[in-house]
């Protein structure tokens, strides 16, 4: 049976509710493919840094610069989704991302690589235009489920990026993954050109007013500020873990190859299961419970990993379990938080999402750099204690939140 044709325009959340039922699935696939670009470097920090001549203490910049670029894009690009026609904005960003990836595949020195990595992050914010767009496709009653399903695609992209990049690098070197992804982004842009419907927001603001409104939203929405802080702590723990774990696994204790790291990273895919589950529970009013469980799970992941550093098979099994538990917790709190902030107002949903994501991605960027530094100076133990402090801080602040 031929799917229904996309509507000519989706100018409001009410009209978007009647969009084709397959559109959120398309968004989930696109989000997964795009967001993977942010994470290809994580398991390749060692070989990339060695090839480019970066010291171990500075190796974290390979991940940090991508996340800083992403954070800047969240603040300066994502809000445009509230005023510009979304289809054109999405296609432009994907095309620019393809160019940035191609440049990264060709560079041979550290400054150019870091600049191209920042550009990849800046242009990959397309996913955070698609996620609020998916919220417009839903009713209030099923918004958590729809957003959760789209986020499951995004999370699968994050988790699969590491094993895929490790496997490709083991066959053809680290440059190959960026060249392959550049071609994939070009193909995705061509596909979406013919499939995406138009969506023209109703807001009548110029760019200066749009950016000025970000500060007003941040000041006037305490729920947004709290949720951004919680996720900054949890995503910081996530970034620290996945920046330092490959260094431990390829070090003297375990001695794994890039293919071994790729198999280990597959464990993180289990975290994608948390997205639809937490979305449905949030729809039923259990968001507070989900956030509490999520923070405890992230803390538990680091406690488990503290005993997993002697290189034995038991240690590797415990480290794998830690990765699953940690990733599940981070994902559960992310979807729950987005369910909460998207309910604050449809007309500025992209700006809310941009502020929320920018805050916690900056936490991730800082933690990636801190994690690499901690591992270089204190090994896995120091990195784990720093990682454990992050969900603990989030939980303490969360417990001070007033119910209702």
Domain CATH number, residue 387: 1.20.1250.20
The highest-confidence range among 2-16, 49-63, 89-103, 365-379, by mean pLDDT, is 89-103
Q: Do 124 and 34 form a contact (C-beta atoms < 8 A)?
A: yes
The highest-confidence range among 105-109, 272-276, 277-281, by mean pLDDT, is 105-109
Q: Do 368 and 38 form a contact (C-beta atoms < 8 A)?
A: no
| Residue 264 domain-assigned (yes or no) | yes
Average pLDDT, the chain: 84
**Mean pLDDT value across residues 293-304:** 94
Report the pLDDT value the prediction gives residue 36, as an integer from 0 to 100.
95
Token pair 């100018």 is found at 11
C-alpha dihedral, 226 to 228 to 229 to 232, nearest 10°: 160
Tokens representing 333?
Answer: 């709190």
pLDDT at 21 over 60: yes
**Mean pLDDT value across residues 385-392:** 95
pLDDT at 145 over 60: yes
pLDDT at 378 over 50: yes
| Residue 10 domain-assigned (yes or no) | no
| Residue 205 domain-assigned (yes or no) | no
Which residues are CB-neighbours of 182 under 8 A, at least 6 positions away? 98, 99, 101, 102, 105
| Residue 337 domain-assigned (yes or no) | yes
Q: Do 393 and 267 form a contact (C-beta atoms < 8 A)?
A: no
**Mean pLDDT value across residues 171-175:** 90
Q: Do 62 and 110 form a contact (C-beta atoms < 8 A)?
A: no
Among residues 96, 114, 95, 94, which one has the least CA distance to residue 104? 114
311: left (phi over 0), alpha (psi -120 to 50) or beta: left
Where does the pLDDT of residue 18 fall: very low under 50, low under 70, confident under 90, or very high at 90 and above? low
| Residue 37 domain-assigned (yes or no) | yes
For the chain, what is the domain count? 1
| Residue 183 domain-assigned (yes or no) | yes
pLDDT at 250 over 60: yes
Where does the pLDDT of residue 176 fall: very low under 50, low under 70, confident under 90, or very high at 90 and above? very high
pLDDT at 368 over 60: yes
For 73-91, how does the pLDDT look when each residue is reduced to its tens digit (9 = 90+)? 988 998 898 889 999 999 9
Q: Calculate Rg over the CA atoms of the chain.
A: 20
**If residue 395 lies in a helix (H) or strand (E), which one and from where to where?**
helix 349-399
Q: Give the Cα separation of 39 and 51 in Å (integer).
A: 18
Report the pLDDT value the prediction gives residue 396, as an integer from 0 to 100.
95
Q: Which domain holds residue 129?
A: 19-198+210-399
Tokens representing 370?
Answer: 């801190």
Where does the pLDDT of residue 306 fall: very low under 50, low under 70, confident under 90, or very high at 90 and above? confident
Report the pLDDT value the prediction gives residue 146, as an integer from 0 to 100.
76
Cβ neighbours, 10 Å, residue 192? 17
CA dist 61 to 117, 178, 231, 237, 357, Å?
A: 10, 17, 21, 17, 20
Which residues are CB-neighbours of 393 under 8 A, at least 6 positions away? 233
For 308-321, how does the pLDDT look when each residue is reduced to its tens digit (9 = 90+)? 767 788 889 999 99
Report the pLDDT value the prediction gives residue 390, as an integer from 0 to 100.
96
More confident residue, 34 or 55: 34
Where does the pLDDT of residue 1 fall: very low under 50, low under 70, confident under 90, or very high at 90 and above? very low
**Mean pLDDT value across residues 57-77:** 83
For 198-226, how does the pLDDT look when each residue is reduced to its tens digit (9 = 90+)? 888 877 788 888 888 888 888 899 999 99
Token pair 């949720």 is found at 227
pTM to 2 decimal places: 0.74
Tokens representing 43?
Answer: 């398991």
**If residue 195 lies in a helix (H) or strand (E), which one and from where to where?**
helix 175-195
**Mean pLDDT value across residues 232-241:** 92
Q: Do 397 and 315 form a contact (C-beta atoms < 8 A)?
A: no
CA 196, 200, 201, 206 torsion-angle sign: positive
| Residue 203 domain-assigned (yes or no) | no
Where does the pLDDT of residue 2 fall: very low under 50, low under 70, confident under 90, or very high at 90 and above? very low
| Residue 11 domain-assigned (yes or no) | no
Report the pLDDT value the prediction gives residue 119, as an integer from 0 to 100.
95
pLDDT at 166 over 60: yes
């Amino acid at each position: 049976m031929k799917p229904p044709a996309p509507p000519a325009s989706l100018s409001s959340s009410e009209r978007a509710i009647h969009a084709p039922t397959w559109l959120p699935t398309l968004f989930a696939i696109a989000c997964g493919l795009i967001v993977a670009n942010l994470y290809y470097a994580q398991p390749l920090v060692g070989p990339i840094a060695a090839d480019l001549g970066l010291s171990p203490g500075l190796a974290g910049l390979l991940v940090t610069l991508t996340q800083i670029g992403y954070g800047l894009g969240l603040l300066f690009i994502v809000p445009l989704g509230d005023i510009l026609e979304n289809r054109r904005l999405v296609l432009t960003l994907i095309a620019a991302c393809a160019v940035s990836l191609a440049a990264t595949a060709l560079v041979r020195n550290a400054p150019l690589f870091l600049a191209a990595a920042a550009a990849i992050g800046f242009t990959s914010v397309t996913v955070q235009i698609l996620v609020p767009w998916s919220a417009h496709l839903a009713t209030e009653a099923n918004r958590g489920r729809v957003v959760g399903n789209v986020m499951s695609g995004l999370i699968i992209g994050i988790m699969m990026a590491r094993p895929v990049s490790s496997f490709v690098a083991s066959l053809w070197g680290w440059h190959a993954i960026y060249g392959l992804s550049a071609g994939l982004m070009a193909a995705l842009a061509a596909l979406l050109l013919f499939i995406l419907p138009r969506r023209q927001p109703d807001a009548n603001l110029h760019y200066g007013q749009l950016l000025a409104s970000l500060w007003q939203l941040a000041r006037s929405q305490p729920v947004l500020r709290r949720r951004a802080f919680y996720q900054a702590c949890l995503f910081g723990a996530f970034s620290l873990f996945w920046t330092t774990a490959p260094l431990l696994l390829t070090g003297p204790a375990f001695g794994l190859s890039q293919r071994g790291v790729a198999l280990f990273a597959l464990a993180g895919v289990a975290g994608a299961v948390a997205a639809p589950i937490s979305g449905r529970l949030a729809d039923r009013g259990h968001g507070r419970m989900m956030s509490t469980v999520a923070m405890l799970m992230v803390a538990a992941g680091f406690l488990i990993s503290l005993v997993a550093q002697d290189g034995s098979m038991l240690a590797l099994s415990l480290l794998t379990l830690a990765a699953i538990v940690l990733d599940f917790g981070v994902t559960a709190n992310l979807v729950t938080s987005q369910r909460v902030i998207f309910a604050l107002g449809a007309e500025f949903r992209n700006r809310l999402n941009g502020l929320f994501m920018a805050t916690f991605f900056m936490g991730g960027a800082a933690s990636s750099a801190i994690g690499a530094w901690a591992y270089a100076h204190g090994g896995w133990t120091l990195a784990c204690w720093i990682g454990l402090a992050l969900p603990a801080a989030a939980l303490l602040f969360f417990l001070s939140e007033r119910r209702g």
